[in-house]
Each structure stands twice: as structure tokens, then as C-alpha cells.
Amino acid sequence: MSQSKPEIEPDPPKRFRDFFVLTSGGVAVLALLLVTGAIGLVEWMTAAVVMTAGALAFYVGSAPAAQKIRTAEVLDPPQSKTTEGEDTAIESFIAALPLPALLVSPAGQLSSVNRHARRLFRLDETATSVPAALLRQPDLLAAIERVSADGANERVEFTQHGDAEVWMAHVRPGPESGSVLSVFEDLTAVRRAEKARADFLANASHELRTPLTAIGGFIETMRGPAKDDKDAWDGFLDIMAQQTERMKRLVADLLSLSRIEFSEHRAPSTEIELVDLARATSSGLIPIAEDAGIKLHFDAPDHLIRAIADDDEIAQVIQNLASNAIKYARRGGEVQILVGSAPTMADAATACSRQSVDAKRSLLLQPYAASGAPALWVRVTDDGEGISEEHLPRLGERFYRVDESRGGKIEGTGLGLAIVKHIMARHRGGLAVESLEGHGTAFGVWMPRLKDDASA
């Protein structure tokens, strides 16, 4: 038990001296401004009155009250005590935080938990004080114990909900001795982006290394064992040309994907007419379809379908979807490119991706536009072998080779659907797939359109 020292009164002569210096100094500065013509007489008098009043207020305000000597018995250090009002303020602060946060008492109880933290750790919304052990995170609990004991700050990364989420806990000493405040930062998106970047670099390196290795091997053979075998050279050169084309396609797709991702946050600003654009794009694919023994069918309404969109990117969407359909259609089969409009985005989603009752479906991109906005849609179907259900959700991933799920060896970079997905994201649209094994696959895209009295 100890006593605090008495408060010391301010020295009255010192207060008067400060008042005099402040007043005289201010008046002198104003006099100098008056003499030099910087201000007029009226301004000088007004400023002098204000300056004097301010100095007087300072003099009166610093006057001591009746001398008091505070004595108090101190049982604990001041920082170890919290009043009822302070407790309420702390709880209000934690509740107002936009991030999950909680306060652990010195006894190891969760004395304050906001709603975000309750959802994160799946705690009872009605419980007022529960053991910290209910967090069920050994590394986090160990950090809380260490901070409670030594008062040092710590950061702990942990996973939650079956490793589906990654969180960073910022653990700090609380307002009461032995208490601990923890605030949690969601790193799930950051870690996924890091993994996607690493996977992208690994896959791109692999895709480029494979044709380069083949070309290098043929060059070495042509320089060595087959140096004088000119007849074998023609076959080697054909394969090298194929591998070169493969690299060119991959580089073109990588550049296209990079360009689209760079501009994805900027909405398009030009107006297009979808029917003519889709018809012209489809006509350019007819020679490719004929070479593959596929009949290409195009169908669109007679009226105009207008939208704010990038015509090159929408043409690329149709071309990528149709090219994939041609690759996987049956020999002698048919690929359909259907274009239409709908009163709402929800109706468009149904029209372009829900036409087969028995088909399995996957929504690859949820549209950003409102479900009630007028919409347009494009549906591309093939009559190939279809895709098994477990592969459907992965079709928008970079470098995912669809031929691995459909069987066979079909050339492709694995970036076509990823490009489609990013283009539709920029246009606030959606992307979906439905497939029935043994009967074919259909991809559908839909996005907002401009209102037109002649359209649906």
C-alpha cells in the first residue's frame, strides 16, 4: 500500500510573467505590421483585442483550484485495473471491429468476442464467457498463453474449417494485466493467389519446355546420327514445325490472358451488335469444322441484340467455345452456336445452360450483374463423349487440359476457358457448363444487354 505525492500548485509569478510576455509580444508584432503598412488601424485594434483576450484566457485557465493533496491506496498497478465503464468501452470497441476479434481474460475465459469471431470459431452466439480452449487451435492457444505470461506481441498463422481458410492471428497484451487481445486477418485469398501464381509459372514453364525439348532433340539427331539421312529430315522438320506452332499458340494465349486480366477491372465502353458479330465469327470457323468432318450450325434471332462490350473479346469467347466444341464433337457430328436474348439475367442463364434435364451442371462464373437486368446469351454445344461430373468445376482453371477428362490426345494450351472466364468477368457476365456423358457438352455465357423494344 502506498501514497501518491501531493500535486504541486503552479507558481503565480510565473503565470503572470507568461501572461505579460505573451500579451506584449503579440502587441509588438501587430505594431510592426501596422507601421510597415501590412495591416490597417482597424485590423490592428481588432487583432490586439483578440490577442489580449486569448492571453487573458490562458492566464485565468491556468489558475490552480484549491490545493488538494490526493492520497490513495494502490493495491495493484494502475494498468491492472479496469473499471466497469472501461470494460464497456472495450467490449464496444471489439464489437465495432470489422475483423474477427476477441479478448481473453487472465483466467483464460473469452470475456469479449465480436460476431465475426463467433462465426469464425463457431461459438455459441448467446454465451457470454466461455473457455478459450473452445477455439480448438493449439498454436493460437499456445501463443495466447505466452503473451499472457510475458506481454510480448506474437503473430500466428492457422487454418480453419478443414484447411479451407487461412487466418493470421495478431496477438497482443490486453488492457488488464494477463489479458490478451487477438485480432484475426483472413489470408485465404492471398494464399490462393500465391498458389495460383506458383502453379501458373510451373505449368507455363512445363508447357513451354515440352516442345522446346522435342525440337532440341530433333536438332541434335539431325546433327548427329541422321546428319546424312535427308529422307528422315522431312519428318523431323514436320514435327518441329508442329511443336513451334504449339509454342506460338501458348505464347499467344498467355499474352491474351495477361492483357485481359490487366483490363478486367475496367468495364467496356463501346456498343456492339451481337448477332452480326457472332455470325461473322462462326463463319470464320466453318473451314476448321469442315476439316474435322463437323457440321457447324448457327442460329440467332432476326432482331438486333445490342450491348456495351468489347467486340474483339466477345468474338474470342465465341471462337474459343466453338473451337473446343469442334475438337470434341463426334466425327460427322454437329456443333451448334445459338444466340439469344432474355428479359433477365436469370432467364438467360436458364436459356443457355439448362436445356438438358439429365445433364450434370457447374457454374464456372457467377455473374456480377443484377439478376433482373435484361440479358443476352450464347450457347455452344457438341455431340461428343461428354465430361464426367467430377471434372466440371475445374474447367475454368488455367492449364486444365479438357482432353484429360474426355479421353484422347487433343492439342490445346488449357487456357481457352480461363480466357473466356476472365472476359465474362469483365463484362459482368456468367459462364456455365452442362454435360451428359455419351451425349455431349454445352457451354453457355450470358451478360447484360441494352434494352431494345424489338428484343425479348
**Predicted pLDDT of residue 74:** 33
**Predicted pLDDT of residue 149:** 92
Residues 6+ apart with CB under 8 A from 21: none
Give the whole-angstrom CA distance, residue 74 versus residue 425. Answer: 64
In the chain, which segments carry CATH 3.30.450.20? 80-186
Task: From 356, 381, 345, select the one nearest 456 (Cα to Cα).
Answer: 345
Q: Which CATH architecture does the domain made up of 198-262 adopt?
A: Orthogonal Bundle (1.10)
Give the whole-angstrom CA distance, residue 398 versus residue 395. Answer: 8
Residue with cell string 464433337: 329
For residue 115, how far is the Cα from the chain centroid?
A: 23
In the chain, which segments carry CATH 1.10.287.130? 198-262
Q: Which residues pair with 378 in a beta bridge?
A: 339, 445
Q: Cα-flanking dihedrals φ and ψ of residue 12, to 5°? A: -60, -45
3-state secondary structure of 165: strand
Residue type, 39: I
Residue type, 28: A
3-state helix, strand, coil in the chain (%, to 5): 50, 20, 35
Give the whole-angstrom CA distance, residue 320 versus residue 173. Answer: 56
Give the whole-angstrom CA distance, residue 443 versus residue 327. Answer: 14
Give the whole-angstrom CA distance, residue 165 versus residue 145. Answer: 24
* pLDDT tens per residue across all 456 residues of the chain: 444 444 444 455 666 666 666 666 666 666 766 666 666 676 667 766 666 666 666 555 555 543 333 333 333 344 444 556 666 788 888 888 899 999 999 999 998 999 999 999 988 877 777 888 889 899 999 999 999 999 899 999 999 877 788 999 999 999 989 999 999 999 988 887 777 777 667 767 766 777 788 888 888 888 888 888 877 888 888 888 888 887 887 787 777 777 777 777 788 889 999 999 999 999 999 998 998 899 999 999 999 999 999 999 999 999 999 998 998 898 889 999 999 999 999 999 999 988 888 889 899 999 988 888 999 999 999 998 888 888 888 887 777 765 544 444 555 567 888 889 999 999 999 999 999 888 899 999 999 999 874 444
Beta-carbon-side half-sphere exposure of residue 289 (alpha carbons within 13 Å): 26
Which homologous superfamily is 268-448 in? Histidine kinase-like ATPase, C-terminal domain (3.30.565.10)
3-state secondary structure of 38: coil
Between helix 41-61 and helix 12-35 the angle, nearest 10°, is 170
Give the whole-angstrom CA distance, residue 125 versus residue 308. Answer: 46
Cell of 53: 483576450
**Predicted pLDDT of residue 30:** 66
Cell of 126: 448467446
Q: What angle do CA 133, 138, 143 make, to 5 degrees?
A: 95
Q: Report whether CATH 1.10.340.70 matches the domain 80-186.
A: no
**Predicted pLDDT of residue 251:** 81
User: Considering the entire predicted model, what is its pTM?
Assistant: 0.55
Residue with cell string 480448438: 136
DSSP string, 359-379: -EEEEEE---S-TTS-EEEEE
Cell of 234: 522431312
Cell of 103: 479478448
